[in-house]
Structure 1
Amino acid sequence: MDFEPWWLISLPVLFGLGWVAARVDIRQMLSETRSLPDSYFKGLNFILNEEPDRAIDAFVEVAKLDPETTELHFALGSLFRRRGEMERAIRVHQSLLARADLPQAEREHAQHELAQDFLKAGMLDRAEQAFLQVQNTARYSVPAVRALIRIYESEHDWPKAIEAVKRLRALVDEPVPQLVHYQCEQAQTALASRPPAIDAAIAALDAADNAANALAEKHFSQASQARIAMLRAAVARASGQPAQERAWLEAVLVQAPEYAGLVANDLLNVCRATGQAAQALALLKAHYMRHPTLDMFNVVFRELRFQEGYVPAWAFAREALRAHPSLLGLDRLLEAELASDDTPKTGAAIAPDADLSLLRSLIHKHTQRLDRYACSHCGFEARHYYWQCPGCNAWETYPPRRLEEIR
């Protein structure tokens, strides 16, 4: 390899250029560092010493001294919101929006942050208006529409919730299973009016069916099927069509067998009105053998007690409780026995020498906390069944079984 003399000249030149560039970078860094307020370094020191409250105060001082630090404003606003200091978070983001020179992208960011502040603070009207202002932006349209759906759910404004879901579907291709329940809520509201708005209820249920059919199989649940059928039965009842009502109630037993306990009483009532109570009892008893639940047990036992007397009813109860032991089930049948005029209160053929009232009072004390439905998401307990949890607002999180059965 030949040695080129110009290498001796180029090497010192390159070294000198590198030295000059390094000096320039260092000077620029030192200049920028000197321009930062002392409060900034105090804040960093407080963070390192795990003193978050004093760090926040220091950074707030920086923001006051240098209003151009928008990123610091956003960081402070988010931190205040996470800490639950909603007034301070709102004030930070409103101060950003008040700046006339704020770029459009950062203005949209501040508007979205402010909307989240209002939502967490429970100021739903102001949160709705704030999210509406960014729902057509490129960056925040999807999260804004999702937030609007949550707001309309919490306000039970089902027409607006349905429209918001339609906007979301236009933005992203994803299933929205709760749309079925929004339509069902509308149908339920129509049926609750006086007089019942039958046509409106039918239209809402038709829309619920369409929403359910549009879902993929993995997103369409037994709960949705059960609720639509139950509301169809309610429409038939309000319209004076007992045959249709019975058909829809029996459809629940077939399509969503776990939810049969929720319709068992209604099915017995409509069949009793048409003189077919015995057939209904046989159907429910056979269903209990395949899908045993406490709610179904209570209905079958009481109806057996009413139609055939306490001996066949207790024979059924003994077999059922032997197969599926349950203090709550025993408490329910003792309650039914004590309420019956023809039952010997000392037990007689049922439990010789037993004081049923004493036995029931002892058992009832321990079963009160088990006689509830519970949300599988947040654990919220309720004596009545809910399609939407009152605690966390999640849909279809209540199993149609009592606490004793799922523990």
Structure 2
Amino acid sequence: MDFEPWWLIAVPLLFGLGWIAARVDVRQMLSENRNLPDSYFRGLNFLLNEQHDRAIDAFVEVAKLDPETTDLHFALGSLFRRRGEIERAIRVHQSLLQRPDLPVSQREQAMNELAQDYLRAGMLDRAEAAFDQLKPTRFAPDALRALIRIHETERDWPAAIQAVHALQGLVDEPVPQAVHFHCEEAAAALALPVPDIDAATHALDAATHASELAQRSAEAPPHVRIAIMRADLALREGDLRAQRLQLKSILASHPDYVGLIAEAFLTNYRATQRENDGLEQLEAHYARHPSLDLFNTIFLARGRLHGAADAWAFARAALQRNPSLLGLDRMLEAQLARGAETPPAIDTVAGACTALSVEDVALMRSLIHKHTQRLDRYACRACGFKAKRFHWQCPGCNAWETYSPKRLEELDV
């Protein structure tokens, strides 16, 4: 390649232009750094060292010096909310919304942060209004999820269901708790002074549809709560056959929940003069899926139908297979309620049998009952809240289906 004389001019010129550009970039960077207050760097240092109080103070100082730092305002608001200083977080986000020059995207973000502040503070009416404004924005899915939680807390089931439908119109995701929203609607219709059977039926049909969506299959067994409520609805309508079919479906598809409907199951068979048939089915189920509630129902039914000796024979055999202080407590309680002497129950050293008096039974029961009171509870798997009766929604943390249908003693086994 031949040497061109003009290279002697071009090469130094290119080097010179590069040097000038570098100097300009360095000067610009130094200028920008000078414009940043020292408080900004101190805040970053405190934040990296997890000194959150001092970091917040430093960032607040920066925000006062330069109100245009929107990102810093968002960071401050988030820090305040995480630390529980909700009032300060609200003020930060409200100040952002009052700026007329704030871009639309940042205005939506500020509204979302303010709605979260209100929700965290328990100001549900303001949180609901703020999340409603976010429905047409990119924050719509999160806003609708928050609205569902708010309506749950307020027990506004129609509004919760409407929010569920809006969410499912945006994202393809199941909302399992929607089943319970419809069941709560049905329960409210049945609790009216004049029960609205049609409204309850419609709500349970919607619950079945929601259950199929959550399980992604129409062939899956219906949710156990739906079956329980349909059985109750059939009883109110006087359709014993329909009630029995619903209750038997629970035996087949949801065996752990049979203790909750055992008494209704026997009552149904008793109404058609077939209580012994119903009792046999419950006993067969108990042999495969023992539970305290089912034990108690069978024990009482056998005492009523066949006498105390037969009931105690069942109880002794059942407790030998599945030892339970609660079971023994219930057995002694039932015997005391009869006020009669028990059949032979305890083997003496000589091998004979000794009958227990009512006073003996009362003493045994009082001693056992002190230890069984703490075991005779249902417990939430999410927060540990204990309750005497079964709940579909935990009264402590408001989570759904966190209660096992078995009591603490049964869960410990």
The answer, yes or no, to whether TM exceeds 0.5 is: yes
3-state SS in 1 of match to 2:290: coil
Superposed CA offset, 1:316-345 (max 9, x none): 11221121121221221121122222234x
Letter of the 1:301 counterpart: F
Instruction: Look up the SS of the partner of 1:369 in the other structure.
Output: coil
Equivalent residues of 1:177, 1:220 under 8 A apart: no
Deviation (angstroms), 1:15: 4.0
Give per-residue Cα distances to partners, 1:294-319, cap 9 Å, x unaligned: 11111111111222122221221122
CA distance in 1, matches of 2:19, 2:76: 40
For 2:225, which of 216, 220, 227 is the aligned residue?
227
Residues 212 and 220 in structure 2, CA contact (< 8 A), matched pair in contact too: no
Superposed CA offset, 1:201-256 (max 9, x none): 1111111122223343589986x522111111211222233333233222221221
**53-62 or 353-362, which moves further after superposition?**
353-362
Report the equivalent of 2:396: 391
* Cα distance in 1 between the residues matched to 2:256 and 2:23: 76
Instruction: Write the distance in 1 (CA, Å) between the matches of 2:219 and 2:411.
Output: 23
CA distance in 2, matches of 1:339, 1:12: 110
Structure 1 residues 258 and 3: CA distance shift in structure 2, 3 A: farther
8 A Cα contact 1:372 1:381, kept in partner: yes
Distance 1:314 1:152, change over 3 A: same
Query: Quick one: which of 230, 233, 236 aligns to 2:234?
Result: 236
C-alpha distance 44-180 of structure 1, shift in aligned 2 (>3 A): closer
Partner of 2:84, secondary structure, is coil
Q: 1:325 matched to which residue of 2?
A: 323
Tell me, in whole angstroms, the C-alpha distance in 1 between the residues paired with 2:202 and 2:217.
Answer: 25
Q: 1:211 maps to what in 2?
A: 210
**Partner in structure 2 of residue 19 of structure 1:** 19
Q: Give 1:318-397 correspondences, 5 Å limit.
A: 318-344=316-342, 349-351=344-346, 352=354, 355-397=360-402
Identical positions, percent:
61
The residue number in structure 1 matching 2:106 is 106
1:4-403 aligned at under 5 Å gives the runs: 12-137=12-137, 139-217=138-216, 225-344=223-342, 349-351=344-346, 352=354, 355-403=360-408
Q: Distance in 2 between matches of 1:308 and 1:386?
A: 34
Equivalents in 2 of 1:201, 1:184: separation in Å? 8
* Structure 1: gaps spanning 5 or more residues: none
Deviation at 1:3, TM superposition (A): 7.4
Task: Classify 1:50/1:149 alpha carbon distance in 2 versus 1 (closer, same or farther; 3 Å).
Answer: closer
Q: CA deviation at 1:278?
A: 1.9
- Of residues 209-218 and 321-330 in structure 1, the stretch that sits farther from structure 2 once superposed is 209-218
Name the structure 1 match of 2:349. Answer: none
**Structure 2 counterpart of 1:199, which letter?**
D
Distance 2:24 2:256 in 1: 75
Task: Give the number of equivalent residue pairs.
Answer: 402
| RMSD of aligned alpha carbons | 2.2
- TM-score, normalised by the number of residues in structure 2: 0.91
CA distance in 1, matches of 2:379, 2:147: 27
* Cα displacement string for residues 234-289 of structure 1 (whole angstroms, at most 9, x for unaligned residues): 11222233333233222221221211111011122233333322222122111111
Q: Are the aligned partners of 2:392 and 2:401 in contact in 1 as well (CA < 8 Å)?
A: yes
In 2: Cα distance, 1:69 partner to 1:308 partner: 82
Cα distance 1:327–1:15, how it changes in 2: closer, same or farther (>3 A)?
farther
Asked if structure 2 preserves the Cα contact closer than 8 Å seen for 1:74 and 1:110, the reply is: yes
Give SS of 1:350's match: strand
Question: Which has the larger displacement, 326-335 or 13-22?
Answer: 13-22
**Structure 2 counterpart of 1:376, one-letter code:** R
